[in-house]
């Protein structure tokens, strides 16, 4: 954001830009883990047995792993959101998920809220989930709880999407709805710190 006028870079262009700006380039072997390799091999075997290619990640939510998101409101009233994803097992080459797409998996604006999402990314992209929270608050006057609940428990469910989000609004209200079995989450505000996995 400080060295380029662009909002989003991907693939070789992003790699070259990173190297130009002093980031260390490592061999792809650096990212190898036996557990993830085993998961990929299992997925490929299942696809071969079913005579399909690239179909399992579209239908099985268990073939995505490791989203880490955060939202924050600072003392000056600034809101921020960040999302990092482990991606999908056996995704197609150069597939981009919702995490790096502003408005899909991540969104923040000081006039309303900050949002970070997790789940089946294609649904979060198609329905601009993170931005939709903001839009419902700004244009429809919904509270954070109303906006997030309508999106996660109604809109996504109707479309067949699974997942959840964490969000904080400009007044410090927190929302963490999800329509999956559980969602690892934690939050802190003055005098309060909590963690949870399942619905309370």
Cα first-last separation, the chain? 39
Q: Which of 52, 184, 167, 190 is nearest to 115 (CA)?
A: 167
| CB neighbours of residue 145 within 10 Å | 14
Task: Return the structure tokens found at 80.
Answer: 């921020």
Q: Look at the block and give the residue holding tokens 């921020």.
A: 80
Catalytic residue among 43, 53, 59, 67: 67
Beta bridge partners of 102: 106
Distance CA 149, CA 58 (A): 24
Distance of alpha carbon 106 from alpha carbon 123, whole angstroms: 13
Question: Is 67 a catalytic site residue?
Answer: yes
Positions annotated as catalytic residues are 67
């Amino acid at each position: 954001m400080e060295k380029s006028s662009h909002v989003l870079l991907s693939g070789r262009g992003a790699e070259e830009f990173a190297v130009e700006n002093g980031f260390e380039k490592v061999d792809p072997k650096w990212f190898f883990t036996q557990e993830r390799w085993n998961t990929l091999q299992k997925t490929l075997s299942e696809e071969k047995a079913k005579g399909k290619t690239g179909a399992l990640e579209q239908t099985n939510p268990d073939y995505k792993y490791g989203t880490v998101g955060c939202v924050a409101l600072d003392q000056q009233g600034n809101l921020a959101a960040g999302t990092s994803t482990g991606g999908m097992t056996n995704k197609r080459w150069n597939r981009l998920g919702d995490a790096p797409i502003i408005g899909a998996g991540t969104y923040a604006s000081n006039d309303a809220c900050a949002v970070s999402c997790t789940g089946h990314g294609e649904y979060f992209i198609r329905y601009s989930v993170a931005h939709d929270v903001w839009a419902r608050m700004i244009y429809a006057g919904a509270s954070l709880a109303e906006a997030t609940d309508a999106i996660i428990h109604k809109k996504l469910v109707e479309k067949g999407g699974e997942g959840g989000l964490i969000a904080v609004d400009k007044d410090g209200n927190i929302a963490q709805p999800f329509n999956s079995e559980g969602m690892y989450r934690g939050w802190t505000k003055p005098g309060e710190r909590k963690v949870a996995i399942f619905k309370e």
